[in-house]
Amino acid sequence: MTDFTLAIDDQGVAVITWDTVGKSMNVMNQQGFADLDALVAQALTDDAVKGIVITSGKDGSFAGGMDLNIIAAMRDSSDDPAKAIFDGVMEMHGVLRRIERAGMDPKTNKGGKPIAAALPGTALGIGLEIPLACHRIFAADNPKAKIGLPEIMVGIFPGAGGTTRLSRKLGAMGASPLLLQGKLNNPTAAMKAGVIDEVVPAEDLLTKAKEWVLSEPNIVKPWDDKGWKMPGGAPYHPAGFMTFVGASAMVNGNTQGVYPAAKALLSAVYEGALVPFDTALKIEARWFTHVLLNPSSSAMIRSLFINKEKLEKGANRPDVSDQKVKKVGVIGAGMMGAGIALVSAKAGIEVVLIDNSQEAADKGKSYSADYMDKGIARKKATPEKKEALLGLINATTDYAALEGCDLIVEAVFEDMGVKAEVTKKVQAVVGPDCVFATNTSTLPITELAQAAENAEAFIGIHFFSPVDKMNLVEIIKGQKTGDVAVAKALDFVRQIRKTPIVVNDARFFYANRCIIPYINEGIRMVKEGVSPALIENAAKLVGMPLGPLQLVDETSIDLGVKIAKATKAAMGDAYPDGEVDEVLFWMADAGRMGRKSNAGFYTYDDKGKREGLWSELGDKYPVAADQPDLITVQHRLLFAQVLEAVRALEDGVLTDIREGDVGAILGWGFAPWSGGPFSWLDILGAPFAAETCDMLTETYGDRFKTPDLLRELADRNGTFYARFGEGVDTAA
């Protein structure tokens, strides 16, 4: 069976329908290209056919994109991967170009048959690149549909002509949010942006497309016509020059130069704009090949596309029956509880939101009301939707309302005693078998479980703040946590459309365990006299979203003090961070708690806007005359995190490096270009990584000591993914 079929109607319109076998959304693969090409050729040469409509057999969508494994297949098909990828990409260009030229005479542009794309809904990646090669794009008026080219989000760029066609259709300026930010639009917005041509009622989609095909339209693409000029100006045109200078600055500003795809995309558009269309496609293919051969792109695709999806689909879910949540009890309506109530209600789950006082519970619920009001103001929601969502949240002080809950998420104060008392009160109503999850960020799950009647049903579900924005959820198994509780937590996380990782119980679990050494390394450098600007910029230039000093300002310096004190109490003499605490405690004593007190390592204006690094810090911790080089600072900041990740794997806290990588990027923004801590070590190569750790250990201390596992991989030049990543590296 093939994914494409052709039917000719009595008016002579050939309808090519794409319907990928066994998938809910169409996905393009190598065979698909060949089949589409053959059917288009058949229709073009059939005298009975006047024109073609390409559509989808799936309800509500045209296509979700390309099967990225195609690229890996192209790369691996030859000893010369660059040539294999380039040739493979040029073949795709050939297929789409034959659609675009539709049998026209190459010199006179005469002849040819009109080809329309009729999109029932979502059209992403190649699902938009094919329509862009057609002569007119119709989309059904389906407000839920998403149309766009999101490739840049996973470390590549639209490489099947999307880059060249969209920049020529809209001009570099118009195309830039779509190409450089991967912005997706609903059909109406996509038409406004000029990406598609017409939005029609869903039931008229095929009729309208056919009518157009039969109307003898002009089908010559502007760029194939004589005298064509790039909208907004080509690079040597004064306006075009301004656009490209601005775009180049913007790309470098946003990416700090660490994302190869963004630069390559811009080069493909710039260089392509200077030459005829077919040459531009070749240039696009060269840059695309360049990006695909960069290990950063492979790693990003692997973590942010392939493995993220696998985790969301339950790669580590125990084999127990469906545990979908119908009614959740959220205890504690503070910052976290309010967010958890919101994301649950958004997923259609009934919520009981409990706090000590009705006022506190109502305040927690008002967070959802405010969220929906903002959505209404931005036309993303309606008053009816707001009412429906608020109708799902019962804010109360009455524990009896928890009756019937099939999951509890506790988010009260971070205090063992308070949590234990709440656990008992809740279980008196819901019974011992209802899965009870705690959102604690620091307390051991196994210890908290002692307050529960049934430790098998007790688990950690650790959200990140702000809950509605942060996509990662860390699920923590206590020593006795059972499979049903894990499945329940995973099914809940899936319902609220977040990405889960499942880890074992140990101090700070996974994410905080890695973030804290990052912050501490930054503060330690301040103590040593490294310039704060160097510390912060080094972090950003290696792709961290926030420097360590900004991060501690955001999370608050008093929280840092609290964690330091608790850790020291637990570790006793082995506690290694005295130097860090000196700076941290001094800041706290000076009342500089970070953003929340409008003063920290940075200064802030009255409205809380961050101004710059606090210059007087140098009076206490003077900047040394001799400064380390950039790479050393970057290595210290990154190794502080990744070595903790490796130790978490050695300790059995992490059981899957895919979770370690995806969790690091989504949880604390670990340099996404690298694909995560384990991917970064693989890119560096274990021998180089181990050698660097040895050097850092010699100069800066034992916290950089090469973990045994890394040493072992270094000795035989192995990689984490070859050893732990499902056996084989399937990324592009």
Where in the sequence numbering do the catalytic residues fall?
441, 462, 474, 512
Instruction: Please identify which residue in the block is written with the tokens 């450089």.
Output: 180
Distance, CA of 116 to CA of 210 (rounded, Å): 8
Distance, CA of 364 to CA of 155 (rounded, Å): 38
By beta-carbon proximity to ligand NAD, the closer residue of 52 and 411 is 411
Residues sharing a CB contact under 8 Å with residue 450, sequence separation 6 or more, in sequence order? 420
User: Contacting ligand NAD (CB under 6 A), which of 336, 515, 683, 690?
Assistant: 336
Q: Is residue 439 part of the contact set for ligand NAD (CB under 6 A)?
A: yes
Stretch that binds ligand NAD, among 28-36, 166-174, 329-337, 660-668 (CB under 6 A): 329-337
- Encoding tokens for residue 85? 């990828």
- Relative to beta strand 13-18, strand 51-56 is parallel
Q: Is residue 335 part of the contact set for ligand NAD (CB under 6 A)?
A: yes
Distance, CA of 67 to CA of 74 (rounded, Å): 12
Distance, CA of 436 to CA of 135 (rounded, Å): 57
By beta-carbon proximity to ligand NAD, the closer residue of 162 and 667 is 667
By beta-carbon proximity to ligand NAD, the closer residue of 508 and 704 is 508
Residue 68, Cβ density class (10 Å: 0-12 exposed, 13-18 middle, ≥19 buried): buried
Distance, CA of 384 to CA of 464 (rounded, Å): 29
By beta-carbon proximity to ligand NAD, the closer residue of 353 and 584 is 353
Given a contact cutoff of 8 angstroms between Cβ atoms, the answer to whether 153 and 159 are in contact is: no
User: Contacting ligand NAD (CB under 6 A), which of 3, 37, 129, 355?
Assistant: 355
Is residue 175 classed as helix, strand or coil in its secondary structure? helix
- Encoding tokens for residue 97? 């170009």
Residues 111-140 that bind ligand NAD (CB under 6 A): none
Q: Minimum distance between the CB of residue 346 and ligand NAD, rounded to whole angstroms?
A: 18
User: Contacting ligand NAD (CB under 6 A), which of 463, 508, 604, 720?
Assistant: 463
Q: Is residue 418 part of the contact set for ligand NAD (CB under 6 A)?
A: yes
User: Contacting ligand NAD (CB under 6 A), which of 31, 45, 78, 465?
Assistant: 465
Q: Is residue 337 part of the contact set for ligand NAD (CB under 6 A)?
A: yes
Q: Is residue 392 part of the contact set for ligand NAD (CB under 6 A)?
A: no
By beta-carbon proximity to ligand NAD, the closer residue of 142 and 441 is 441
Residues sharing a CB contact under 8 Å with residue 508, sequence separation 6 or more, in sequence order? 441, 442, 516
Distance, CA of 424 to CA of 402 (rounded, Å): 13
Q: Minimum distance between the CB of residue 513 and ligand NAD, rounded to whole angstroms?
A: 14
Q: Is residue 174 part of the contact set for ligand NAD (CB under 6 A)?
A: no
Q: How many residues of this chain bind ligand NAD (CB under 6 A)?
A: 23
Instruction: Please identify which residue in the block is written with the tokens 């524990």.
Output: 399
Torsion sign over Cα 634, 639, 644, 645: positive
Q: Is residue 506 part of the contact set for ligand NAD (CB under 6 A)?
A: no
Q: Is residue 693 part of the contact set for ligand NAD (CB under 6 A)?
A: no
Given a contact cutoff of 8 angstroms between Cβ atoms, the answer to whether 590 and 567 are in contact is: no
Given a contact cutoff of 8 angstroms between Cβ atoms, the answer to whether 162 and 149 are in contact is: yes
Q: Minimum distance between the CB of residue 586 and ligand NAD, rounded to whole angstroms?
A: 24
CA atoms within 13 A on the CB side of 521: 31
AA letter at 159: G
- Encoding tokens for residue 185? 């639009």
Q: Minimum distance between the CB of residue 443 and ligand NAD, rounded to whole angstroms?
A: 7
Q: Is residue 422 part of the contact set for ligand NAD (CB under 6 A)?
A: yes
Q: Minimum distance between the CB of residue 475 and ligand NAD, rounded to whole angstroms?
A: 13
Distance, CA of 266 to CA of 313 (rounded, Å): 34
Where is 13: in which H helix or E strand?
strand 13-18
Q: Minimum distance between the CB of residue 204 and ligand NAD, rounded to whole angstroms?
A: 50
Q: Is residue 459 part of the contact set for ligand NAD (CB under 6 A)?
A: no
Distance, CA of 284 to CA of 687 (rounded, Å): 35
Q: Is residue 413 part of the contact set for ligand NAD (CB under 6 A)?
A: yes
**CA dist list (Å): 401 to 147, 337, 397:** 43, 16, 9
Q: Minimum distance between the CB of residue 410 and ligand NAD, rounded to whole angstroms?
A: 8
Q: Is residue 356 part of the contact set for ligand NAD (CB under 6 A)?
A: yes
Is residue 182 classed as helix, strand or coil in its secondary structure? coil
- Encoding tokens for residue 324? 């979908």
- Closest C-alpha to 351, from 289, 293, 406: 406
Q: Is residue 360 part of the contact set for ligand NAD (CB under 6 A)?
A: yes
By beta-carbon proximity to ligand NAD, the closer residue of 195 and 341 is 341
Q: Is residue 473 part of the contact set for ligand NAD (CB under 6 A)?
A: no
By beta-carbon proximity to ligand NAD, the closer residue of 382 and 465 is 465
Q: Minimum distance between the CB of residue 415 and ligand NAD, rounded to whole angstroms?
A: 8
Q: Minimum distance between the CB of residue 427 and ligand NAD, rounded to whole angstroms?
A: 14
By beta-carbon proximity to ligand NAD, the closer residue of 305 and 463 is 463
User: Contacting ligand NAD (CB under 6 A), which of 19, 198, 414, 579?
Assistant: 414
Distance, CA of 128 to CA of 197 (rounded, Å): 12
Q: Is residue 354 part of the contact set for ligand NAD (CB under 6 A)?
A: yes
Q: Minimum distance between the CB of residue 524 and ligand NAD, rounded to whole angstroms?
A: 23
User: Contacting ligand NAD (CB under 6 A), which of 14, 66, 137, 411?
Assistant: 411
Contacts with ligand NAD by CB under 6 A lie at 331-337, 354-356, 360, 411-414, 418, 422, 439-441, 462-463, 465
